[in-house]
């Protein structure tokens, strides 16, 4: 068991690269570990966290009322820079969803990070920065930002620096809540069954 695994198992946090920006990861089903993440980031408790998972089966374990195109969506874009919002089921603890009826899912493409999620997930992994600051793109800058030492794995070259696209498919119509590198046109090209709200983002 390496340093990162030991830290996760001890209920602490580690800084890891995704394919977009760095995240600060901890075990999602450990309330004290999640509380530690909120404390480190100075993040308001009413801001829910995503679950980082490795496969569709894990998405289905923690969600309900999934659309028929979910498999196609996951196979087309994940692992990768897409966050999928679904209705949360009773297995998602309140310290993750913060009282909301939905939960987000991420599958980061970085191989080491994905392997840690496979062994110790689900993990929470919000961006590695203080709340309200820009997402962490440079490892050295991230380490300096926090008041205490947090182990991490540096791989600046792997990152695009652009946050993931957030796609909400928890309702009858899909919505893009944040535009990242994956566009509405990209989504529709692979999953034409997606039906977007008319006031959603344009195709490009």
Q: Which helix (H) or strand (E) holds 146?
A: none
pLDDT at 148: 85
Number of neighbours of residue 178 by Cβ within 10 angstroms = 12
Contact 101, 10 (CB under 8 A): no
What letter would DSSP give residue 28?
Answer: T
Please give the pLDDT value at position 197: 83
Closest CA to 52 of 111, 107, 129, 127: 107
Distance CA 194, CA 140 (A): 40
Say which residues have a Cβ less than 8 Å from residue 136's Cβ, sequence separation at least 6. 15, 21, 22, 127, 128, 129, 142, 145
* Nearest CA-CA partner of 175 in 88, 107, 67, 85: 85
Per-residue pLDDT 10s for the chain (204 aa) are 688 999 999 999 999 999 999 999 999 999 999 999 999 999 999 999 999 999 999 999 999 999 999 999 999 999 999 999 999 999 999 999 999 999 999 999 999 999 999 999 999 999 999 999 988 899 999 999 998 899 999 999 999 999 999 999 999 999 999 999 999 999 999 999 999 987 555 565
pLDDT of residue 147: 82
Structure tokens at 91: 């297995």
Which of 124, 92, 137 shows the shortest CA–CA distance to 24? 124
pLDDT at res. 202: 57
Q: Are 4 and 121 in contact (CB under 8 A)?
A: no
For residues 70, 71, 75 and 77, what is the CA-based torsion angle, rounded to 10 degrees? 0
Q: Which of 65, 36, 1 is nearest to 123 (CA)?
A: 36
DSSP strand pairing (22-27 vs 51-52): unpaired
Q: How high is the pLDDT of residue 172?
A: 94
């Amino acid at each position: 068991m390496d340093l990162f695994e030991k830290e996760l198992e001890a209920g602490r946090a580690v800084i890891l690269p995704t394919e977009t920006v760095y995240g600060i990861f901890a075990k999602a089903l450990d309330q004290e570990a999640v509380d530690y993440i909120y404390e480190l980031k100075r993040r308001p408790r009413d801001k829910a966290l995503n679950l980082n998972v490795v496969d569709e089966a894990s998405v289905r374990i923690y969600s309900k009322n999934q659309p028929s195109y979910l498999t196609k969506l996951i196979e087309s874009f994940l692992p990768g820079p897409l966050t999928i919002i679904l209705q949360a089921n009773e297995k998602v603890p309140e310290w993750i969803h913060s009282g909301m009826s939905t939960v987000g899912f991420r599958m980061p493409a970085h191989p080491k990070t994905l392997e840690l999620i496979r062994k110790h997930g689900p993990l929470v992994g919000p961006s590695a920065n203080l709340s309200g600051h820009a997402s962490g793109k440079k490892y050295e800058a991230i380490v300096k930002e926090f008041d205490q030492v947090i182990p991490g794995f540096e791989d600046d070259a792997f990152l695009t620096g652009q946050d993931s696209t957030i796609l909400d498919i928890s309702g009858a119509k899909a919505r893009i809540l944040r535009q990242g590198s994956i566009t509405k046109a990209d989504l529709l090209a692979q999953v034409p069954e997606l039906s977007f709200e008319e006031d959603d983002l344009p195709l490009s």
